Structure 1
């Protein structure tokens, strides 16, 4: 996005350097990424960075509303309410499409948000390896304002560990060894000393939870939650009998499962501004827009882009039996903003916030970028193309 840096990067790029980058990720973690890593980081100019931060701040203002829990009660599906909800989500992620405004300038448009962690461990590793194997200016950084590596790790420690010893904190997931994000779990354990534990391996005694470490039972006092209930349901037979989290347990959450639903697509209709495409709950729309092709239908309770209808028709709407669980959002046109040797790529930027238990508001900590040359953005798409996939943003100082 910064022409001089982009041109120099493309000219100096070689397939061998890219191969070394990928190999270094595997060597450091023992895991080969199960998703495509892009050949390039994204270099974000100051003007776009300022817009992104301002847009993120505006979204955070909605999350800080004192009536947030009241307006999001309907966001939690029936049977999924978990007791002992804490005061806020320790992690918030906000996704922005990079577009061009009427003046032709790069501008962010809100796509998605979640009260749920992202790849906080892996993104630090990826940025470090981009810097090692490619041409990244020394003064550019992927961290949030005022943070360096030490400050970033300490922020994650406050959010994930809280006041507990690492041995009493686990990363909880559904069959973690089979997840595409396994490499992130390995990075997190290397950084903080917490193991990834499958939900089926938890041991419950009364209200207490335990897991086995080196053959010995260890008390679980805090859960770094990477478990999504839809994933649990999809693998119910393989998991067998598991803990019923709808029962009260003596454990802390980071982030509590209820926040996954409260801070989600459900909030999009409440967010307004030049960076926010119009969005409505489908059941609250008295009349469908005549230009329905300029909108996208999104199910509230899905993840990783599943179920999204990009080019909806009135017939698609009529088929929906639970319109209260869908939103209609104005379509966003991504800009072909990243010049690559094989044609321009579109870009989506995820701002990743940490919110320690003792902090008054979320803190921008890290980012993630996804490059695409197709209709869908995300590491599950464009597999047969190059210069696409997961990436990092380096911000102009």
Structure 2
């Protein structure tokens, strides 16, 4: 999207060089990369960058309003409310499709949002990897409100550890060794010294939690949470000693309740030129006349599960649980990333951190995904090249 950096990169690109980059990842972190890394970064021009920033600010204004918790009480499912919720989310991630408006300009359109940490460690690593294997123009940067990688890592360290000994802070997941995002866990350990611990491995005595490391039992004081109830529901016989809803003496870094409050459930509350209209399905007395231009999304699902792109009024009438769905107006992704054989669609995720005492979230970096399929995501881009997760590099 920025011609000079794109031309510089594409002139240096070759399939062999890309395979060498993937081999470099595997050499550093054997067997840890389990998702598709795209062949290229995304070069984001200043005009689109500024619109992304404005779009994020529109959403943040909604999240900061005094009534936000009241408006999102219904987002937390029965039996999944976790005690000791903090005043605000410590992580915000907003997903935007890159589109073209009526004036022919590129603009973001909101697709989804999460009050949940994304690949914050990997997004510090990936730009360095690209720069090691390709010429990257000095006119772009992966960071926005922080100057460089060291400052980024330091900010995340302060947020996650808050001065605690790293061994008393864990990254909580369910079977982390099986997760497709496990390379991010390995990098979190490298950068911040925290272990990825599986929920069944946690021991509970009274209100205290422990895990075992090198034959020692270590008390847990802070939990960097990467676990979601949606996945827990797949293991009804798990029966761990610690349930997320237990009253325990830990501090959550990324409290689980915010995963629900800032989610698809929040989309109908957002009114912005960069947010397509969204409606709670059960609140609609009549459906939009142009229903073919809407997508049906389950409110309480993860990673695109259950999204339906093609729906009829009959499909909606047949749903027994309309209160679990929303309608969102479709957006048209604009193919904008120049590959060797044509243009590719793109989605950009903004990554924010929001320390407990900070008045405002800080936009620290981004994540991007390339797609040639009908939707963004691995299942819609199988056996294709120049697709997958990557890093946005913003014009300085």
TM range (shorter): over 0.9
Q: Give the Cα–Cα distance (whole angstroms) in 1 for the partners of residues 138 and 241 of structure 2.
A: 48
| Equivalent position of 2:96 in the other structure | 96
Correspondence for 2:54: 54
The residue that corresponds to 2:216 in the other structure is 216
Determine the C-alpha separation between the residues in 2 that align with 1:7 and 1:29: 30
1:91–1:355 contact (8 Å) kept in structure 2? yes
Shift of 1:262: 0.4
- Distance of 1:324 and 1:242 partners within structure 2: 33
TM-score, length-normalised on structure 2? 0.98
Structure 2 Cα separation of the partners of residues 193 and 75 of structure 1: 33
Q: Does 2:51 match 1:83? A: no
Q: Distance in 2 between matches of 1:139 and 1:215?
A: 49
Distance 1:279 1:268 in 2: 6
Match of 1:316 in 2: 315
Verify the 8 A CA contact 1:25 1:125 in the aligned structure 2.
no
Aligned runs of 1:1-397 on 2, under 5 Å?
Answer: 1-237=1-237, 239-397=238-396
Inter-partner Cα distance in structure 2 for 1:379 and 1:186? 22
Q: In structure 2, what is the Cα distance between the partners aligned to 1:286 and 1:40?
A: 46
Contact 1:223/1:253 (<8 A) preserved: yes
| SS of residue matched to 1:351 | strand
Cα distance in 2, alignment partners of residues 185 and 53 from structure 1 = 28
- Shifted more, 301-310 versus 379-388: the winner is 379-388
Supply the distance in 2 between the matched residues of 1:383 and 1:134 (Cα, whole angstroms). Answer: 25
* Structure 2 Cα separation of the partners of residues 41 and 367 of structure 1: 11
Contact 2:295 2:308 (8 Å CA) reproduced: yes
CA-based RMSD of the aligned residues comes to 1.2
CA distance, structure 1, for counterparts of residue 293 and residue 241 of structure 2: 43
Post-superposition CA distance 1:162-216 (Å, at most 9, x none): 2321110000001000000000000000000000000000000011100001111
Cα deviations across residues 119-155 of structure 1 (Å, max 9, x unaligned)? Answer: 0011111111011111211231101224311211111
How far off is 1:32 after superposition?
4.0
User: What secondary structure does 1:345 align onto?
Assistant: strand
Unaligned 5+ residue runs, structure 1? Answer: none
The Cα of 1:356 is off from its aligned counterpart by 1.2
User: Partners of 1:179 and 1:107 in 2: how far apart?
Assistant: 33
DSSP-derived class of the 1:301 partner: coil
Name the CA distance, whole Å, in 2 between partners of 1:61 and 1:154: 27
Alpha-carbon distance between aligned partners in 2 of 1:188 and 1:139, rounded to the nearest angstrom: 28
Cα distance between partner residues in 2 of 1:342 and 1:112:
29
Q: 1:342 to 1:292 in 2, by over 3 A?
A: same
Q: What is the total number of aligned residue pairs between the two structures?
A: 396
2:208, 2:97 → 1: CA distance?
A: 43
